[in-house]
Amino acid sequence: MSRTPRSRTAKSRRYLMCRPTHFEVAYAINPWMDPSKPVDRELAVTQWEVLADLFKSLGHQVEQISPLPGCPDMVYAANGATVIDNRVLGARFRNPERAAEGPAYLEWFRAEGYRQTLEPTHVNEGEGDLLVTDTCVLAGTGFRSAHEAHAEAQEFFGRPVVSLTLVDPHFYHLDTALTVLDGDEIMYFPEAFSAGSRAVLERLFPDAVLVSRADAEVFGLNSVSDGLHVVMPQTAAALAARLRARGFEPIGVDLSELRKGGGSVKCCTLELRD
């Protein structure tokens, strides 16, 4: 049975991105990373530029932070901070390999004139684990961000934070298992969550799009939505068709090289909500 799709509107956004100038897979801190497999950095840069140009062509603003040598994962800008209403919660990384990125991103915000910034006490990996809906912040824990970071985020932003526990190491950040599509409309892969967290999601989001393992494994949930266009890995074709039926306009992109680091569209994109 087909419903008439809802009409959707795009809202113009501001994103922060980091060119993969120094990208490589030199260490493995998630199950997707294999340092013995070759990475084509030049191709990574080209694919990243296509993504940045696509955002601009959709009417979004793209800001850039300078990539630091020795920080191959800095391209995953989503992890660099969380920004709501001009307030910037800095990131603190779990793995020493990424530790330098937290202060580098916070410095960018301070240099840009953001006044309300917080260097966090607890480990949080930015929008990798903190996803903002209209009514709350969904917060992941289990692999990277510490549970204590959720209370820290709630206190700083003054928004209710809902803790969700991730249980499958392939979906180590919340943004690999759940996407905010629009307002309080989300999609997620249920098996990535503990039973209790799954029950919480069912209670809060009864209309959510439930995503299959196949679509989640090709990083279909690592997508960026502006309320109409859903920019996503082109490999998540089945999921794209389902989103189209709900009135969204999915746009597939090829990020094969950055995928080797365990990330895709959303990982490369930090939303500046200011």
Nearer to ligand ARG, 8 or 220 (CB): 220
76 counts as binding ligand ARG under rule CB under 6 A:
yes
Residues 201-240, one symbol each (x = binds ligand ARG by CB under 6 A, - = not), give: ----------------------------------------
Write each residue from 86 to 115 as x if it is in contact with ligand ARG (CB under 6 A), else as -, in one continuous string. Answer: ------------x-----------------
Q: Which of 20, 67, 142, 261 binds ligand ARG (CB under 6 A)?
A: 261
- Closer CB to ligand ARG, residue 78 or residue 123? 78
Q: Which is nearer to ligand ARG, 19 or 98 (CB)?
A: 98
Of 8 and 106, nearer to ligand ARG (C-beta) is 106
Question: Can you give the three-state secondary structure of the chain, one letter per residue?
Answer: CCCCCCCCCCCCCEEEECCCCCCCCCCCCCCCCCCCCCCCHHHHHHHHHHHHHHHHHCCCEEEECCCCCCCHHHHCHHHHEEEECCEEEECECCCHHHCCHHHHHHHHHHHCCCCCEECCCCCECHHHCEEECCCCEEEEECCCCCHHHHHHHHHHHCCCEEEEEECCHHHCCHHHCEEEEECCEEEECHHHECHHHHHHHHHHCCCCEECCHHHHHCCCCCCEECCCEEEEECCCHHHHHHHHHCCCEEEEECCHHHHCCCCCCHHHCEEECC
Q: How far is Cα of residue 63 from the mean position of the Cα atoms in its chain?
A: 16
Under the binding rule (CB under 6 A), the answer on residue 175 touching ligand ARG is: yes
Q: Is 173 a catalytic residue?
A: yes
Binding ligand ARG (rule: CB under 6 A), the pick from 16, 17, 18, 29 is 29
End-to-end CA distance of the chain: 41
Catalytic residue, chosen from 18, 60, 150, 173, is 173
259 binds ligand ARG (CB under 6 A): no
For the question of residue 267 being annotated catalytic, the response is: yes
From the CB of 222, what's the least distance to ligand ARG, in Å? Answer: 6
Which residue from 16, 60, 73, 143 is in contact with ligand ARG, where contact means CB under 6 A? 73
* Catalytic positions: 173, 267
Binding site for ligand ARG (CB under 6 A): 29-30, 33, 73, 76, 78-79, 98, 128, 173, 175-176, 261-263, 267
